[in-house]
């Protein structure tokens, strides 16, 4: 946690990771901050059960973003956070997953620091960790994957934006955020740079939620089976560790629906 100021104090912003979905996957500190919030600035895909943990009287401000549809520009979000913190309120900036992993926490921290506003970062279970736990796909595994790369999948359309040669090297797991809609481009780039077309790969929709859905097979085959993107966002995982999951089926690809009830 990076903190400046007394944690949970008035006139402070807590950048809180909401985790991959269900409220029972929140960190204890995240729960404490939510329960004391006076202003809740929250992203898209935050579950209603998580939002309900904040006091009923807390002001709720939706700032969610979808492709081509942003409820509020990033600079406006900065201004909202600064305004309410300067007014002496306890502000919770609630983000899905972990705020520092494709959550733009760095930009918001810079804005808060420049404005002289106290802040803290409360980590959350990332989407990648949630997928790994709920599907049985380890992100690293001795003898198969000695490293894991988290990649912004929306950059796949720009050939020069990513080091595809490095991503195609063996011995690693690749997790593409915001990349399901660009699965074809991602697969093409990886295969062009030497990744075998049959490399195990998976798309996980609604990870850790009751409606979780998994497609898991060879990468080239996955492109064919996932030709129609689902309405909900998903995470793309590419690497040999995918084959360790019970969801993986070779050579055919099947869709597997699985509940994630706590045991």
Active site residues: 43, 65
The set of residues, in sequence order, having a beta carbon less than 8 Å from that of 95 and lying 6+ positions away, is 15, 16, 17, 18, 42, 43, 103, 105, 124
The set of residues, in sequence order, having a beta carbon less than 8 Å from that of 14 and lying 6+ positions away, is 7, 8, 33, 37, 90, 91, 92, 93, 119, 120, 121, 122
Q: What is the edge-to-edge ordering of all strands in the sheet holding 147-152?
A: 147-152, 172-177, 234-238, 200-205, 213-218, 254-257
Please provide residue 131's backbone torsions phi and psi, each rounded to the nearest 5 degrees: -60, -45
What is the Cα–Cα distance from 93 to 16, expressed in whole angstroms? Answer: 6
What is each CA distance from 109 to 6, 38, 64, 101, 161, in whole angstroms?
A: 16, 19, 18, 13, 25
Check if the beta carbon of residue 154 is closer than 8 Å to that of residue 214. no
Exposed/middle/buried for 195, CB within 10 Å: 0-12, 13-18, 19+? buried
């Amino acid at each position: 946690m990076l903190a400046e100021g007394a944690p949970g104090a008035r006139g402070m912003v807590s950048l809180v990771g909401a985790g991959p979905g269900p409220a029972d996957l929140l960190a204890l500190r995240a729960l404490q901050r939510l329960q004391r919030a006076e202003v809740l600035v929250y992203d898209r895909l935050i579950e209603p059960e998580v939002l309900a943990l904040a006091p009923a009287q807390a002001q709720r401000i939706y700032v969610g973003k979808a492709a081509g549809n942003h409820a509020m520009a990033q600079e406006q979000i900065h201004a909202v956070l600064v305004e309410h913190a300067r007014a002496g309120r306890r502000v919770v900036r609630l983000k899905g997953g972990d705020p520092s992993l494709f959550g733009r926490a760095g930009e918001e921290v810079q804005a808060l620091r420049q404005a002289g506003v106290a802040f803290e970062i409360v980590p959350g279970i990332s989407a990648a960790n949630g997928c790994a736990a709920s599907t049985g796909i380890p992100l690293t595994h001795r003898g198969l994957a000695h490293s894991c790369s988290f990649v912004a999948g929306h950059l796949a359309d720009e050939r020069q934006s990513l080091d595809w040669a490095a991503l195609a090297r063996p011995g690693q797991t690749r997790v593409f955020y915001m990349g399901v809609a660009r699965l074809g481009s991602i697969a093409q780039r990886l295969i062009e740079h030497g990744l075998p077309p049959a490399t195990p790969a998976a798309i996980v929709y609604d990870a850790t939620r009751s409606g979780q859905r998994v497609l898991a097979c060879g990468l080239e085959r996955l492109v064919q089976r996932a030709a129609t993107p689902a309405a909900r966002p998903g995470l793309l995982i590419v690497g040999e560790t995918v084959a360790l999951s019970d969801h993986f089926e070779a050579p055919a690809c099947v869709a597997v629906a699985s509940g994630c009830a706590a045991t």
